[in-house]
Each structure stands twice: as C-alpha cells, then as structure tokens.
Amino acid sequence: MTKPDIKLKNLFHPGDGRIPPYLAGRTQEKKNFQDSVDLLMQKSPANQNMIIYGPRGNGKTALLRYLQELTLKAGRDELEILWATPSEFKDIVQLVGLIAGNNQNLIKKALNLFEHMFDNLAVSANISMASIQANLNRPKNILAFKDLLWEKAKRKPFILIIDEAHTLNPDIGHVLLNASQNVRAEQCPFFLVLAGTPNLETTLSQASASFWDKSSTFPLGRLSEKDSHKALSIPLESCQVACTEEASMEVMYRAQHYPYFIQIWGSCIANQLIKTDSREVTLETLSKVEDEAITKCSNIYIHRYDELNKMGLVPLATDIGGTFEENDNLPIPIHELEDTVRISLQKQGEPTTHEAIQENMRKLIHVGYIWRISAPNEMVKEVPLLCYEPGIPSLMKFVRGQRIPKAEMDVILERSQNQAKG
Ligand SMILES: Nc1ncnc2c1ncn2[C@@H]1O[C@H](COP(=O)(O)OP(=O)(O)OP(=O)(O)O)[C@@H](O)[C@H]1O
Ligand SMILES: [Mg+2]
C-alpha cells in the first residue's frame, strides 16, 4: 500500500469518542472552552463551569478529546487536565484518588483532609482502596474536597473533565458540584467540564439544585449542512480526493448531518477508493458502498430499539415516528407533539394526565429519540419556536419498520413457508 493510501485508510474515525480527522462546527463550545483556558493561564478561575449535553453520537466526547489535545499542545506543562468517567470512581474516595494521582504530597494532603472518612482502616498510599463510610458527612466532605481542589490547582491550573456525567452518583455529584462552585468563587484556577446524554440535567439537579443554572450549558445537536459537508470534504481533500457536488449531497442526505454517520460513510468511501485506486467520489462510488454503510449505521438502531423496548416505549415511539414521517421529519412544535403523545397513551389505555405526558416525553428525550430545539419563527421573528426534531436520524424509521401489520406479517410468513416447502 502506497503512503497516500495508508493515510486514506485511516482517515475517518467512526466510533466512540474518537477525534475525527476534521472536527466540524461547534464554534461556540470551542470558544467557551478556550476563553476558560485563557483565564486559567492567568491563574483565574473559569467564569462558569461548562456542561455539554446531547443525544448519543453527536460528538460530546470527540469535542472534549479534541479540546483536551489542543489545550495540552498549546499549554504544554502549564496546566493539568484530568479526564474521568463516573465508572472510574464508585465513591468520593476513588475520585479523590484520581485527583491526587501519584503525587505523594497531594496524597498526604488528601489523607489529612479526608481523615474523617477513613474510619479505622489502615490507610496506605493507595487511598482508592479505602472504603467510604456509609453515612457521608456531606458538609465536611465538601469542605475537604474544596481544599483538595485548591491544593491541586495552586500547583498548576486544573481542568477536570467528566464524560458520561449523566451516570454520576448523586452523593458524589453533591460534593463535587458544590465544592467546584465554592473554589471558583474563591478565585481558584479551576474549571469543571461535564458531558452527558440529555438526562444530565436531571442527574445534576439531584446532586445540586442550582448547578445547572449557574453553568454555561451547550446542547449538542447534529451538524449544520455546511459543517457536515466540511466534515467529509476537508479530510478527503487532504488526501487529494475530490467529491462531486451530487455525491456530497447524497452522503449528507443519507447521514442526515449526524456526525457518527458521516464518519461511517467517510470510512466506507475511503476503503472503496483504495480498492479501485481512484481519487474521485461519485454517485457510483456511493452505490458500491451503500450496503456496508447502511449495515454499519443500523447497529446503532438495534441498541436504541432495545433500550426503548426495555422502557415500554416502543408503541409510543412508533406513533411519534408516524407523526414525524407525516411532517417530512421537520421540527414539530412542542404542543403538537404532546397531542400525539396524548392520543397514543389513550390508545394504549395509559393515563393521559399532564404529568404522564411529560414523563413519557422526558424518557424519550433521555434516550435521544426526540431532541428539543428552538426553530426560527416565520410569524414572529423575535420569538423562536420551541420544537422537537428526531434525535438520532432514521431511528424512527427503524422503530416503525419493526411494527409490521399482522396481515402483512402473515403474507411474509406464508411466503417463507412456501419457499421452504420447495
Ligand atoms: N464535530 C464533528 N465533526 C466530525 N465528526 C464528528 C464530530 N463530532 C463527532 N464526530 C464523530 O462522530 C462519532 C461520534 O462521536 P462521539 O462518540 O464523540 O459522540 P458522543 O456524543 O460522545 O456519543 P455518546 O453519547 O454515545 O458517548 C465519532 O466517530 C466522532 O469522530
Ligand atoms: Mg461520548
């Protein structure tokens, strides 16, 4: 394989949290992060903590990995970034252990600060092994945690990134969120960044009532049309590959501006180009890769479908999919979609109270089935319309596709039985 082909082969990065070859869009998020880093470099705290939330596959992890890499390159040794997910710290002691790292001075400080938690355990330098007392002494922990953050950040400005933060344990969240607000108020050069799926708001509100409102929040939806094109064309151009206008439009139509799908299509296209030793993407290239791309994109649907099924949401999700299909998948104002939910619940013999409707919509938002946006309002320009749009594109089509009417199913079964008979 020649050198340009090797670059092409590994060009696109479909998968969890991988930094894409070109991270398209997300201008406001990048700017907010950069502004906070600039403040930290001057030994000041970030103006606000940062929260990024959105349906799966929209690029929360990729964006933060990109920002982390960029910051470390530019800031070199002048600041420290810790990346963690809640699965790495089951209790506050483990989080303290992660923050202290293998800095012996900090470990000693942490042991002093959290002395009240270690009971009579023989505490070693490996503090993550210590078990937490069942009854958390919250105010004491917040104070101790705050002091630990100060100890850490006074050595080097400190950025703590917690991905998958919607899985944060509320007890740990309570200590972390409150302590982080307190240190920032005391001018500590600290910056907390949280990312998670749309239920992050609920998780954080359980941990600290005011945290969400006091943070800079960034909903991460799909890419704009312009940015989607860039996500495909810029990496291809870097390998001297041209993409015809119609081919690019077709990929965008298929990927529906969903970053994860753009990477899938990009990698299938790149492999095809290598196979045919070509440097141009045309509609014919796409016809050769479409089966593979569709199969790869479908894997995400199966997982989401199982999730909906577990929550008993398939019938409602099917009806909502129907409403969007009738509306050409365009955004639907909130109250209109609530009508669909009401009718669907009624059909299923479920309660149709305001609370029941809201609860069901909340669950659908959490799994990324629907996603709230504010759409431009043609009638009153200064009042944008709150609407819902499909969260993960084509998932609705997939869900609806699983509900084949009985009569059609009988025909399919009969046909396959006849085929089996010969
Ligand atoms: N701005 C972007 N431009 C181009 N590609 C992107 C962008 N953001 C994400 N991607 C690509 O989309 C895919 C999904 O991204 P990522 O895993 O970061 O999403 P996520 O929101 O963290 O999903 P999850 O909630 O499942 O963790 C990755 O392959 C990533 O490289
Ligand atoms: Mg992620």
Give the domain CATH number at 287. Answer: 1.10.8
Separation of CA 267 and ligand 1 centre (Å): 14
Band of pLDDT at residue 126, cut at 50, 70 and 90: very low
Distance of CA 364 to the CA centre of its chain: 15
- pLDDT tens for 250-261 read 999 999 999 999
- pLDDT tens for 282-338 read 999 999 999 999 999 988 889 899 999 999 999 999 999 999 999 998 999 999 999
- Pick the last residue of a domain from 273, 299, 325: 299
Mean pLDDT across 394-420: 79
Mean pLDDT across 216-229: 94
Residues 232 and 199 in one domain: no
Residues 89 and 190 in one domain: yes
Tell me if 304 is assigned to some domain: no
Residues 234 and 282 in one domain: yes
More confident residue, 370 or 209: 370
**Mutate which of 10, 12, 18 to test ligand 1's pocket (most atoms within 8 Å of Cβ)?**
18
Residues 33 and 159 in one domain: yes
Atom 27 in ligand 1: residue holding the nearest Cα: 56
**Strand order across the 80-84 sheet:** 80-84, 158-162, 190-196, 50-53, 216-219
Residue 95 sits in a domain whose CATH number is 3.40.50.300
Q: Which atom of ligand 1 is nearest to the CA of 196?
A: 25
Tell me if 412 is assigned to some domain: no
d(CA 362, CA 198): 9
Please name which ligand lies nearest the alpha carbon of 55: 1
DSSP string computed for 385-403:
EEEEEESSTTHHHHHHHT-
What are the residues whose beta carbons fall under 8 Å from the beta carbon of 414, sequence distance 6 or more? Answer: none
Separation of CA 63 and ligand 1 centre (Å): 7
Q: Show the ligand 1 pocket: residues with CB < 6 angstroms.
A: 13-18, 20, 23-26, 54, 56-62, 197, 231, 259-260, 262-263
Band of pLDDT at residue 118, cut at 50, 70 and 90: low
Residue 332 sits in a domain whose CATH number is 1.10.10.10
d(CA 51, CA 205): 13
Separation of CA 259 and ligand 1 centre (Å): 6
d(CA 277, CA 262): 22
Separation of CA 147 and ligand 1 centre (Å): 35
Residues 200 and 242 in one domain: no
Tell me if 83 is assigned to some domain: yes
Residues 175 and 42 in one domain: yes
Atom 25 in ligand 1: residue holding the nearest Cα: 56
Residues 154 and 133 in one domain: yes
Residues 214 and 341 in one domain: no
Atom 8 in ligand 1: residue holding the nearest Cα: 59
Question: What is the number of structural domains in the chain?
Answer: 3
Tell me if 79 is assigned to some domain: yes
Tell me if 420 is assigned to some domain: no
Tell me if 411 is assigned to some domain: no
Separation of CA 386 and ligand 2 centre (Å): 26
Q: Per-residue pLDDT for 277 more than 60?
A: yes
Tell me if 248 is assigned to some domain: yes
pLDDT value at residue 132: 46
Residues 329 and 398 in one domain: yes
Separation of CA 286 and ligand 2 centre (Å): 28
d(CA 422, CA 416): 10
Enumerate the H helices of 311-373 as residue ranges. 314-326, 334-347, 354-366
Which of 373, 376, 394, 395 is CA-nearest to residue 384?
Answer: 376
Tell me if residue 145 falls in helix, strand or coil: helix
- Pick the last residue of a domain from 238, 271, 299: 299
pTM for this model (two decimals): 0.87
Residues 112 and 156 in one domain: yes
Residues 215 and 273 in one domain: no
Mean pLDDT across 195-222: 91
- pLDDT tens for 153-176 read 998 999 999 999 999 999 999 999
Residues 57 and 202 in one domain: yes
- Pick the last residue of a domain from 192, 219, 246: 219
Tell me if 419 is assigned to some domain: no
Domain boundaries, position 85: 27-219
Enumerate the H helices of 186-282 as residue ranges. 200-207, 225-237, 245-255, 259-276
Mean pLDDT across 367-395: 83
